[in-house]
Structure 1
Amino acid sequence: MAFIKIQNVVINTNYVAAVKLDNQTSLGEKSVSVLIATPKLPLSNLDTTTHNFYHYEWIEFTGQAATALQDYFTSVNNVIDLLPQYQESSVR
């Protein structure tokens, strides 16, 4: 388990479900979005009919926070890149 602190937000990396790199806000500002999946616990044992066991929330970061997250999630020390950028343009 690892934690990432970005400005005033601390993220447990166990709950990161997806990351959107190279996004833009509606104003055209560079952003990085992180999808957080936190487990939902049933209120009782009878409440197991629901198949949605997680609560999902997108958190969007801009400015320096977006740059720092992009650096973190593109680092070979943190994430394995299955299709390096050099091959990405040839895959269509």
Structure 2
Amino acid sequence: MAFIRLDSLVINTAYIAAVELESHTSDGEDSVAILIATPKFPLAWKEEISHSSQHYEWLEFTGKKAVALRTYFSSLNNVIDLLPSSYYSVACVNS
């Protein structure tokens, strides 16, 4: 488990379900969007946990925070790239 700190916001990476590196705000500004999945617990322990036992929320970052997140999630030290950009150029040539 790791944590990412952006100024006063600290995100537990165990709860990150998806990251959209090339996103845009409703105003058209470049952004990075992170989908956070947090567990929902039943009100009473006797209740069954439903199929939707997760709560999902998109967090959107712009400016320096977006640049920092894009750099972090583009680093091979932090993320395994299954289709590196060199693969795309080879695949296009072979098609």
TM-score normalized with structure 1 length: 0.89
Count how many residue pairs are aligned between Structure 1 and Structure 2.
92
Q: Identity rate of aligned residues, in percent?
A: 56
Q: Secondary structure at the match of 2:83?
A: coil
Unaligned regions of 5+ residues in structure 2, if any?
none
Alpha-carbon shift at residue 49 of structure 1 (Å) = 5.2
Alpha-carbon shift at residue 86 of structure 1 (Å) = 2.4
Structure number having the greater helix percentage: 2
Q: Secondary structure at the match of 1:43?
A: coil
Alpha-carbon shift at residue 19 of structure 1 (Å) = 0.2
Deviations 1:5-57 (CA, angstroms, capped at 9, x unpaired)? 11221100000000001111122211000011111111113321521111111
| Distance in 1, Cα, partners of 2:49 & 2:59 | 28
The residue number in structure 1 matching 2:4 is 4
Structure showing greater radius of gyration is: 2
TM-score normalized with structure 2 length: 0.87
Aligned residue runs from structure 1 range 1-92, under 5 A: 1-48=1-48, 50-88=50-88, 90=91
Alpha-carbon shift at residue 73 of structure 1 (Å) = 0.3
Query: Would you identify which runs of 4 or more consecutive aligned residues in structure 1 move more than 6 Å?
Result: none
Unaligned regions of 5+ residues in structure 1, if any?
none
Larger RCO, structures 1/2 (Cα 8 Å, 6+ apart): 1
